[in-house]
Amino acid sequence: MKTKENIGIIGNIEYKSPGVRVLYWSIFTLMIVIAAICILPPVWIMVSSLKDIREFYSIPPTLIPRTFEIGKLWDTWKEFNFLNYYLNTGYLAVGSIVFCLSFNGLAGYFFSKLKPRGSSLLFVLIVWTVMIPNTVGMVPLFSNLIDFPLLHLNLTNTFWPMWFMAAVNPVVILIFKNFFDVIPQSLLEAAKIDGATTIGIFIRVILPLSTPVIGTITVLTMNSVWQDFFWPFMVLKDQSTWSVIVAIYNLKASLPQDIQFIALTFAILPPIVLFIFFQKYIMSGQSYGGSIKG
């Protein structure tokens, strides 16, 4: 008789102990409570946004809505031109993903497989930058955006500053390096024998094996760009360049509260949908590296 393989921390034998069972269900209950705390606020916003105006302002508020006005979604979308803000955010996200994968991926390849003299020290210095508070570099960085060094360009009202920031991410470099470390060196040597160049090896050998980590970084970068507020707010001053989050913040003074909830619903839904469709890459990326090494 075949037994089910134990893949968790607690196996079948340990689970038979009463103390382990109590610990297991305590942790499980705590996780449910934490998940509910995280899920309920956005669900409340999305559900409340569809109430009619009378029910929306009723005291005490209704937990389960009695009215649903679906038409408010389309009216708000059309009246405040959310399609343009979505396109701006999508354009910003696509550029950030391209810059993030290209430059950070090459950096991870450089530190993992090429390893020229002095690369270890350079890698340590890059990782150390994670400990530097972000607020330290905000003032000099913003001044450089207004007057870009040497070229003397004003990069405000453009997406280039956010794209440049995405191109240098120490955490992403570390993730790429750790993933590339488990790719056998013999594959690279075989490609060299076949006449592949250094860049050719990266494109034809490394990247095809890196689909899980690329998918994971893509989803995380997209989510980060979508919810980023500070730099888009500081850089994108013209309304035609606003991202979704910046638009909601700048328009909130002119929006009724129920319409603000609808606008927040527009901001919440895309990351949720993105995560639902691509969560398999995040989960598989944790174990795929071991299968390559084996």
The pLDDT of residue 159 is 92
Give the integer Cα–Cα distance in Å for 32 and 46: 21
Answer yes or no: are the C-beta atoms of 203 and 214 closer than 8 Å. no
Answer yes or no: are the C-beta atoms of 160 and 91 closer than 8 Å. no
pLDDT band at 23 (very low <50, low <70, confident <90, very high): confident
Q: What is the mean pLDDT of residues 209-217?
A: 87
Give the integer Cα–Cα distance in Å for 105 and 101: 5
Give the integer Cα–Cα distance in Å for 239 and 151: 26
- Helix residue ranges per DSSP H, 129-196: 138-146, 160-167, 170-181, 185-193
The pLDDT of residue 34 is 92
Tell me the average pLDDT of the chain.
81
Residue 50 tokens read as: 């569809």
CA nearest neighbour of 39 among 272, 207, 224: 272
Quick one: what percent of the chain has pLDDT higher than 70?
88
The pLDDT of residue 197 is 87
Answer yes or no: are the C-beta atoms of 72 and 258 closer than 8 Å. yes
Residue 268 tokens read as: 């919440």
Q: Helix or strand or coil: residue 97?
A: helix
Answer yes or no: are the C-beta atoms of 112 and 176 closer than 8 Å. yes
Give the integer Cα–Cα distance in Å for 147 and 134: 20
CA nearest neighbour of 106 among 159, 165, 169: 169
The residue type at 35: A
Residue 39 tokens read as: 């899920």
**CATH architecture assignment, domain 80-293:** Orthogonal Bundle (1.10)
The residue type at 89: T
State the residue for tokens 């890698």: 123
Indicate if the pLDDT at residue 291 is higher than 50: no
Q: What is the mean pLDDT of residues 264-274?
A: 82
Indicate if the pLDDT at residue 64 is higher than 90: no
85-144 tens-digit pLDDT: 989 999 999 999 999 999 999 999 999 988 888 888 988 888 888 887 777 667 667 777
Answer yes or no: are the C-beta atoms of 113 and 196 closer than 8 Å. no
Domain limits, the chain: 12-69, 80-293
CA nearest neighbour of 127 among 180, 183, 177: 177
pLDDT band at 284 (very low <50, low <70, confident <90, very high): low
The pLDDT of residue 20 is 79
The pLDDT of residue 50 is 76
Residue 45 tokens read as: 């916003």
Indicate if the pLDDT at residue 4 is higher than 50: no
pLDDT band at 9 (very low <50, low <70, confident <90, very high): low
Indicate if the pLDDT at residue 294 is higher than 50: no
Q: In 3-state terms, the chain is what percent helix, strand and coil (to 5)? A: 75, 0, 25
Give the integer Cα–Cα distance in Å for 63 and 52: 14
Q: Helix or strand or coil: residue 130?
A: helix
